[in-house]
Amino acid sequence: MFLKPYPYLLLLCFVFSVCSERIVQISEICSKHSNIDNCNKILLSVPGTSEGADLGSLTSYIINMAHVNAYNSHALISEIIGNTSDAQAKQRYNSCSMDYNDALLSLTQAKQSYSSGNFADVKSNGAVVIKDVQDCDTKAYDSSLLRTENQYLVDLSTIIMILADFLAGKF
Ligand SMILES: *[C@@H]1O[C@H](CO)[C@@H](O)[C@H](O)[C@H]1NC(C)=O
């Protein structure tokens, strides 16, 4: 029988603090990002990262940031729907709202996958979020506010995918 090692490893980390941390530099992560400037800005906004960050803690932190951001954008979409009387616009933003429901679900799954050490799943959930947000973005052409938030979530999710590769030992 094959025992999945990670839950036990996490338990050990938690109880005995015996796990060796892996420190990564922001420049190492962002060199793999499609938008290096945005990546640097985001990671430097995380407390204590200028000297490098513990890979596990950073991943957890960024997934949470993405989740909070998606939650807020979802609320913004509801507000846009409530504010418009244009039936066609309502339909577009209703569709965006569904894209975001899916993105929120994927971020919840990414958290669970991270906890159980399934880093390939963290990565694929990151990819689903990007796809959902890009789908919404094509319908949100008349809200620059939402489009800015969409870009931010795409940047965050791209970081999640890169961190998942680090965690899986690809880098
Ligand atoms: C919705 O309308 C309210 C009241 O006019 C306004 O304060 C708010 O900024 C609007 N929200 C959006 C997202 O357009």
For residue 83, the ligand 1 atom closest to its alpha carbon is 1
pLDDT at 45: 96
Structure confidence by residue, pLDDT tens digits, 58-113: 999 999 999 999 999 999 999 999 999 999 999 999 999 999 999 999 999 999 99
CB contact at 8 A, 126 and 161 = yes
What does the longest C-alpha to C-alpha distance in the chain come to? 60
Q: Where are the domains of the chain?
A: 21-167
The residue contributing the CA closest to ligand 1 atom 4 is: 83
Q: What percent of the chain has pLDDT over 90?
A: 87
pLDDT at 3: 47
Q: Which residue has the tokens 């975001």?
A: 100
73, 80, 83: residue to mutate for ligand 1 pocket, most atoms within 8 A of CB: 83
Structure confidence by residue, pLDDT tens digits, 7-26: 555 554 554 444 568 999 99
The separation between the first and the last C-alpha atoms of the chain, rounded to the nearest angstrom, is 29
CA of 82 to the centre of ligand 1 (A): 9
CATH class of the domain at 21-167? mainly alpha
Residue 157: which H helix or E strand, with range?
Answer: helix 144-167
How many whole angstroms separate alpha carbon 36 and alpha carbon 42?
Answer: 10
* pLDDT(53) > 80: yes
Model pTM score: 0.88
pLDDT at 21: 81
Among the listed residues 97, 91, 96, 168, the one whose alpha carbon sits nearest the alpha carbon of residue 126: 168
The residue contributing the CA closest to ligand 1 atom 5 is: 83
